[in-house]
Amino acid sequence: MTMGQKAFQINAADNVATALSEVAPGEITITGEGLKDKITAAEVIPQGHKIAVRDIKQGEPIIKYGVPIGTATADIHNGAWVHLHCMRSNYDERSSHLDIYTGVPLDQEY
Amino acid sequence: MDLSQYKWQGYARTDGRKGIRNKVLVVYTVECAAFVAKEIARQANNKDVDVIGFSGCTDNAYAIRLLVSLIKHPNVGAVLAVGLGCEYVQPQRLADAGADAGKPSDWLYIQNEGGTAKAIEKGLGVVLNMLTELKKTPRVEMGFCDLVIGAECGGSDYTSGLAGNTVVGAFYDKLVDTGGTAVFEEIVEAVGLIDLLQKRAANDKAREELTQTYNKAMDYCKSVRQYSISPGNFVGGLSTIEEKSMGAFIKSGTKPIDGVLQVSEAPTRKGLWLLDSTPDPHWMQFGITNPNDNEGLMDLIGCGAQVVFLVTGRGNVVGSAVAPVIKITGNHETFMNMNDDMDFDASAVLYGSKRLEECADELAAYVAGVCGGGESRAERLGHKEYFIPYKYQNIKRCGDD
């Protein structure tokens, strides 16, 4: 079904796209209606995770579906993996305290 | 494509609504009567006999409203209420609700019949007579303009917000344009979307209802200190509750939202409605919003939805009593892996092999097939889940105290 690695961008205003399979560093095609850009993935992006499709400055909103889904906590370069290590929720503080690879909460004592 | 081209034969109900199924509904009023009710349905051995019930026995107003709304549901043609004999919930009153809606209705107490075997024998006789009676239900032409369709998602993954829910949203736009009614839920997954909700309001009253409902859900999230997002969601690539929320909200499409329904409330006019299933604030400690997917589906069906969508990424297998469930996935691997359970593959939009519009048209054709009597996957497999919990939610409109 797929030729080469792809990420899906749902809204033309978005600054991130979603990897449709695990992405290796290198060229990646951005799909979505009317979108056929190619960018270069800077690092491994897990399936279903987000890749920046342009440079995003610290403090800027992360835009997906054409709406803010959080705020960048660091400068993010075009092609970089976008997840909890470089963005946070504007509502749910707890999600900033999860392990970025496993999602395991690190703020709960046992 | 114009959805008004699709027509099929439905079942006329006295309240003017039209059903796509003609079921005998066996309703138990307390867990003590559940075995007898289920045994009556099993022995009737007919796919048009469904069971629902409430574990009881205290007569929770929310649960009674939900039972009555399901009894009056357009897919239901006849009702048998089965009680034990000492519970709060009254089977006779439930049967009266069915009779008020012009449906053959009956009830029994297991204690009065002389126990399990005699109650089953009597109930089975009643149900078999009802099945014969239902063959005389007048048929009527119907189309999408006569439908209420509900949608929720469960077992979501990254494809749900990008493909499954977007195809439902595109379909909902067409449904509303055709004069049909669309209902969506999961307001606890609208975190961060207040501006968007307000912008989508059809009028001032709807805007006020949406704002109140949003604030109630936010209070709920804050008071239980839990947003509707889990470690598995983060591993799957969702970074924030806002991202998950927007992925869920996108199934509402782009049309104006006409207002907010409480559970068991039928829409007062055609259009797009938000279903609020969050318990009321002062009772919040006594209820969980959506304990499982079947509770959410039951809530949508309680609003009169003749057919419901369950959008899933990871895969789910459930169906429902009363209304067919159509399971939609945006994950092609899930569609192939759980093929017997999945009704519709929406993944093509991700790869650019089909346009959103095209997928929405295909979904419409599939829905028309199920409404015309074709079996959904869950129906074929015999799934008839239901879930009616205790909950505290008053039906009140804006302006009420």
Question: How many angstroms separate the CA atoms of A8 and A50, rounded?
Answer: 9
Which residue in the set A6, A89, A103 is minimally distant from B241, CB to CB? A89
Q: For residue B224, is pLDDT > 80? A: no
Compute the average pLDDT of residues B159-172.
96
Of B237 and B70, which is predicted with more confidence? B70
Q: For residue A97, is pLDDT > 80? A: no
Quote the pLDDT of residue B401.
42
Burial of A4 per CB tally in 10 Å (0-12, 13-18, 19+): exposed
Q: For residue B15, is pLDDT > 50? A: yes
**B242 vs A84: CB contact, 8 Å cut-off?**
no
Question: Scanning every residue of chain B, which has its alpha carbon at the shortest distance from the alpha carbon of A89?
Answer: B240
Which residues are CB-neighbours of A109 under 8 A, at least 6 positions away? none
B108/A contact by beta carbon, under 8 A: no
A63/B contact by beta carbon, under 8 A: no
Measured in degrees and rounded to the nearest 5, phi and psi for residue B3 equal: -75, -15
A82/B contact by beta carbon, under 8 A: yes
What are the b/e assignments for B271-293, b being 16+ CB within 10 Å?
A: bbbbbbbbbbeeebeebebbeeb
Tell me which of B240, B254, B350 to substitute to probe the interface with A (most A C-beta atoms closer than 10 Å): B240
Domains of chain A: 6-97 (2.30.130.110)
Q: What is the dihedral of CA A14, A19, A20, A26, to 10 degrees?
A: 120
Quote the pLDDT of residue A3.
61
Q: What is the pLDDT of residues B249-281, one digit of tens each?
A: 999 999 999 999 999 999 999 999 999 988 887
**Beta carbon pairs, A and B, within 8 Å:** 110
Which residue in the set B231, B235, B239 is minimally distant from A50, CB to CB? B239
A3/B contact by beta carbon, under 8 A: no
Distance from CA of B167 to the nearest CA of A (A): 12
Tokens of B15: 């309240």
Which residue in the set A2, A31, A69 is minimally distant from B240, CB to CB? A69
Distance from CA of A73 to the nearest CA of B (A): 13
Q: Domain boundaries in chain B?
A: 23-136, 144-381
Quote the pLDDT of residue B291.
76
Quote the pLDDT of residue A1.
39
- Strand pairing partners for A71? A61, A88
Q: What is the pLDDT of residues A27-83, one digit of tens each?
A: 999 998 767 789 999 999 999 999 999 999 999 999 999 999 999 999 999 999 999
Question: How many angstroms separate the CA atoms of A57 and B116, rounded?
Answer: 70
Of A36 and B219, which is predicted with more confidence? B219
Among residues A105, A89, A87, which one has the least CA distance to residue A97? A105
B193/A contact by beta carbon, under 8 A: yes
Distance from CA of A62 to the nearest CA of B (A): 10
Measured in degrees and rounded to the nearest 5, phi and psi for residue B19 equal: -100, 155
A48/B contact by beta carbon, under 8 A: yes
Question: Scanning every residue of chain B, which has its alpha carbon at the shortest distance from the alpha carbon of A18?
Answer: B158
Question: How many angstroms separate the CA atoms of B112 and B27, rounded?
Answer: 17
Which residue in the set A2, A67, A87 is minimally distant from B351, CB to CB? A2
Has domain B23-136 been given CATH number 2.40.160.10? no
B250/A contact by beta carbon, under 8 A: yes
A65/B contact by beta carbon, under 8 A: yes
Which residue in the set B158, B227, B242 is minimally distant from A68, CB to CB? B242
Mean pLDDT of chain B: 93
